[in-house]
Chain A
Amino acid sequence: MSSSPPPSSAAASPSCPKKMIALRSSDGETFEIEEAAALQSKTLENMIDEDCAGTPIPLPNVTGKILAKVVEFCSKHAEPGVDDESLRAWDAEFVNVEQATVFDYILAANFLEIPTLLNLTCNVVADMIRGKTPDEIRKFFNIKSIFSPEEEEEVRRENHWAFE
């Protein structure tokens, strides 16, 4: 059958074998993910609908290391009976990683169109920015600032109007 059952019904009947989707990362590693978990990703959902899920789906933009974590995330969020508070705590632990890894998660979530993961990781980056001055932001994200003279003047002017 090509139309996928809703996740809740798949979870409600544990006696039915869960349909597994195979994914292949950019570096050739293969991962298996339950269909219910895969449906968290709109990209994968479209592919499943179009019945492309026979052979492993190649994901050239995601490395094995990141794909493993993304599979873990989706599986956790597809689990039934997890209360909001413990899920939030689990999410907080999930994104408690290096800056570079957070960006990798963001890129993967964007490519695979996983709204929950994207929202979570964007919040993490927003939190990184909170409370920092422009200088600190530059240092933290390793950005070299190149302003034109006109822009420098604008920034100076705006700082007069800035928050105290």
Chain B
Amino acid sequence: MLLFFLFTCLSFILFLKSLPLNSLPLWASEMTLLSLWSHREFSAFCISSLMNSFYRSFIPRTCSKMSIKKINLSSRVDNVEIGEKSVLDLPELVLECILEKLPPAELFNMAGVCSSLRNRCVSDHLWERHMRQKWGRVIGPAAYRQWKWYIATRRDIGNLKQGKQSGLARLLIAVWPLSWTNSKLDNSEKQRIPLPTDSIMSWYLALETGKFCFPAQVYNRENGHVGFMLSCYDAELSYDSQTDTFQARYPPHGRRAGAIESNVTWDRLRAQPVDAPPHDLHISDCLNDLQPGDHIEIQWRRNEEFPYGWWYGAVGHLESCDGNANYCRCHNSDTVMLEFRQYAPGSRWRHTAINRRNHREEGNEADGFYGGIRKLKTEREISMWKSLWPTEVLE
């Protein structure tokens, strides 16, 4: 209980400090979350398991596969003159079948038609499918947590303003002077932004309209800046439905100011492959498996002030090995040679060696620090990196 109090206080301070909103675009004031939940390995391609563990279980139904039950015509309250058939007269499963065929904009419109249609059209299982189809690849657990936080904080602010003070709000008022919290809130409340509900439909709409920014990673950040080729960095993203692209906001690095990049296309995004903040060192679990030819990603940062980026590389042969498959014993050696073939052979970035027995983080101020390693297992991830290969060799 005490831990919960401290945690919510800390996060609420961070949120209040990020106001007032008028001086910044609304989305730019979203706070970066401190992820205090326990971390789990999460693959961006397992979005369906995320959905199942957080939401009600969803049994996919398609018209052609389902066994259709015969249901008697049910009477509807908000209906037409007697004798005329209406879409509301249709059996439940048939109506479901029709709603499942609707694209998101139409499903949203149907929710505003009448009471009985509304109940069906806002239900999570219909919107789950749209979320998964459009957003599944770029939304991960971190984004989901940020959404939950977004709703919770907005609800508490709304309650504070209306005098419906939750336990949290009363606690805060006791700790900080009310005038200070009120002055911070007034600017936002002037706009009277309605609160989002805690539903998948709400989440989908918040993402679509760009009102909700979510954390994800961007390949080859800043329009393929040569200093970041074949790397993937964390950013806050907001969607622009007009152009079907994103605006990415990269956190500041040390003395380097935060950067903003516009028109980031879908193919340059992914959800975080490891559910951890970008400053956290990843503990490699694949070191014993690494052998020449494996594709990997490794964390790298300039120094402790900077967040890690994930950089693509491959496991190469040791210098003593001539690469002949019959005689290669590199996989038995304690030393693993990592190659970054996007760099020219003489370049200082071309190779680095790590010790598979005790590697955690190695490096220095000159060459930066090499951190945790992920072995790439899916063809999809590998071909993604290959598709981003620079046209010219880097130095």
Minimum C-beta distance from A115 to chain B (A): 5
> Given the known A-B contacts A110-B94, A122-B101, A147-B115, are A160 and B78 also in contact in the complex, defined by CB atoms under 8 Å?
no
Interface residues as binary, B69-85 with A (CB distance below 8 Å gives 1, 0 otherwise): 01101000111100011
- Contact yes or no, A142 B84, CB < 8 A: yes
26 cross-chain CB contacts under 8 A: A43-B70, A103-B87, A106-B90, A115-B68, A116-B64, A118-B63, A118-B97, A122-B101, A125-B87, A126-B98, A129-B106, A130-B103, A130-B106, A132-B109, A133-B109, A138-B113, A142-B80, A142-B86, A143-B113, A143-B117, A145-B115, A158-B197, A159-B112, A160-B194, A161-B194, A161-B209
Q: Encode B97-113 as 1/0 by CB contact (under 8 A) with A.
A: 11001111110111111
Among A2-10, A16-24, A84-92, A149-157, the one that faces the other chain is: A149-157
Chain B residues within 8 Å of A, Cβ to Cβ: 63-64, 67-68, 70-71, 73, 77-80, 84-91, 93-94, 97-98, 101-106, 108-115, 117-118, 193-197, 201-202, 205-206, 208-209, 211, 241-242
A-B contact count (CB 8 A): 142
Question: How many whole Å from B202's CB to the nearest CB in chain A?
Answer: 7
Q: Are B94 and A137 in contact (CB under 8 A)?
A: no
Chain A positions within 8 Å of B194 at CB level: 156-157, 160-161
A134 at the interface (CB under 8 A from B): yes
Docked-complex contact B101 and A107, CB < 8 angstroms = no
Chain B min CB distance to A124 (Å): 9
In the complex the two chains form, is A129's CB within 8 Å of B85's CB? Answer: no
Interfacial chain B residues near A115, Cβ < 8 Å:
63-64, 68
Q: Is the CB of A163 within 8 A of B115?
A: no
Q: Give complex CA distance A122, B194 in Å.
A: 35
The answer to whether A151 and B86 have CB atoms under 8 Å apart is no
User: What residues of B have a CB within 8 angstroms of the CB of A159 in the complex?
Assistant: 112
A134 in contact with B109 (CB, 8 Å): yes
* A141 within 8 A of partner (CB): yes
Contact across chains for A161 and B78 when beta carbons are under 8 A apart:
no
Given A110-B91, A130-B106, A134-B113, A164 contacting B241 (CB threshold 8 A):
yes
Contact of A129 among B78, B102, B241 (CB under 8 A): B102
Do most interface residues of chain B lie in helix, strand or loop, or is the interface mixed?
loop
Find out whether the CB atom of B68 lies under 8 angstroms from the CB atom of A118: yes
Could you tell me the distance in whole angstroms from the C-beta of A65 to the nearest C-beta in chain B? Answer: 14
Residue of B nearest to A125 (CB): B98
Which residues of A have CB within 8 Å of B87?
103, 125, 141, 143
Please pick, from A119, A141, A146, the residue contacting B63 in the complex, using a CB distance under 8 A: A119
Q: Taking the complex as formed, is A82 at the interface, i.e. its CB lies under 8 A from any CB of chain B?
A: no
User: Distance (Å) between the CB of B116 and the closest chain A CB?
Assistant: 9
Whether B114 and A162, one on each chain, are in contact in the complex, defined by CB atoms closer than 8 angstroms, is no
Q: Say how far A159's CB is from chain B's closest CB, in angstroms.
A: 7
- Cβ-neighbour of A145 out of B101, B114, B195, B208 (below 8 A): B114
Q: CA–CA, A145 to B78, complex, Å?
A: 6
Partner of A106 from the list B78, B80, B94, B105 (CB cut-off 8 Å) is B94
A105 to chain B, nearest CB (A): 11
Given contacts A126-B102, A151-B115, 13 further A-B contacts (CB under 8 A): A107-B90, A113-B68, A118-B97, A126-B106, A143-B114, A144-B79, A145-B78, A145-B115, A151-B118, A157-B197, A158-B111, A158-B197, A158-B202
B211 contact set on A, CB distance < 8 A:
161
Minimal beta-carbon separation of B278 from chain A (angstroms): 29
Ranked 5 nearest A-B pairs via Cβ: A134-B112, A157-B194, A126-B101, A161-B205, A146-B78
B202 & A161 in contact (Cβ 8 Å cutoff): yes
Q: Whole-angstrom distance between the alpha carbons of A73 and B153 in the complex?
A: 56
Chain B CB within 10 A, most for which of A132, A145, A156, A158 = A158
Residues of B within 8 A of A162 (CB): 108, 205, 209
A123 and B70 alpha carbons, distance in the complex (Å):
20
Residue of A nearest to B193 (CB): A160
Q: Are A122 and B98 in contact (CB under 8 A)?
A: yes
Decide: B115 and A137 in contact? CB cutoff 8 A.
Answer: no
- Report the Cα distance A148→B118, complex, angstroms: 11
Q: Which residues of B contact A126 (CB under 8 A)?
A: 98, 101-102, 106
